[in-house]
Chains A and B, each alone.
Chain A
Amino acid sequence: MIEVSHGPIDTAALQQSLSNPAAGGYCAFEGWVRNENEGHEVHRLEYEAYEPLVISEGEKVLAEARERFPFLEARCVHRVGLLELGECAVWIGVASPHRDEAFKACRYIIDEIKVRLPIWKKEHYANGDSGWVNCERCAAHGIAD
């Protein structure tokens, strides 16, 4: 299940929602807002998403992960709007019978989400400037990974 959240992500409640008596392993990934990117001091981030396709593409990613690394439960929540330093921007949790599937599925899901889902990140810098990640600066540098 994948969701877009317009407010803070309640990671404790999400973890609880994955509880399953058959689960012997649980792995979560949290992406946090950090204060620096490529030498620029970042004050806050702004995420934008096109929700209908975040949901449909995100469900495909989760189905692929389940096929590769069979797990019991997985959830993903991505935040949108203005986020302050330290806030959780994305949360992924996977519960599985053994740890290996949980680790690998969690990694697969975050890696695919970052390159496939229509979500954009605008950095607001200490000097008052702002820029869309992977757009302006990366285009100028000839990179976009």
Chain B
Amino acid sequence: MKTITVCYFAIFREHAGVAEETLSVDAETAQDVFEFTRSRHGSTEPNGHCKVAINDHMADWDTPVNDGDTVLLFPPVAGG
């Protein structure tokens, strides 16, 4: 198990009811963390148009996560 801080934005924050939380997760990759939070909070948003960052750096879904990491989950963006 790894201790991961997860930060939620926009619709993800509304689904989660919190802006961030620290979780014990059996996760190897950012994708595993996303799946865990999705089942935890009942979100159905597919990750196809979502983005992820780890410790303030943009990452890929198969990027490994380490104990103590902060994972930022970004729903589909809509700037401009």
> Which residues of A pack against B, CB within 8 Å?
31, 47-50, 52-53, 56-57, 78, 89-90, 110, 113-122, 132-136, 138-139, 144
Q: How many residues of B contact A (CB 8 A)?
A: 20
Would you give the shortest CB distance from B61 to chain A, in whole angstroms? 16
Residue with the greatest number of chain B CB neighbours at <10 A, chosen from A52, A113, A115, A136 = A115
Query: Chain B residues near A31 (CB, 8 Å)?
Result: 80
Within the assembled complex, what's the spacing in Å between the Cα atoms of A50 and B78?
12
Given A48-B9, A139-B46, A144-B49, check contact A120 B75 (CB 8 Å).
yes
| SS of A interface (majority) | mixed
Query: Chain A residues near B56 (CB, 8 Å)?
Result: 52-53, 56
Look across to chain B and name the residue whose beta carbon is closest to the beta carbon of A111: B80
Look across to chain A and name the residue whose beta carbon is closest to the beta carbon of B51: A118
Within the assembled complex, what's the spacing in Å between the Cα atoms of A133 and B80?
11
Query: Chain B residues near A117 (CB, 8 Å)?
Result: 77, 79
Additional 7 contacts, C-beta under 8 A, given A50-B9, A135-B45, A135-B76: A49-B79, A113-B79, A113-B80, A117-B79, A118-B72, A120-B11, A135-B10
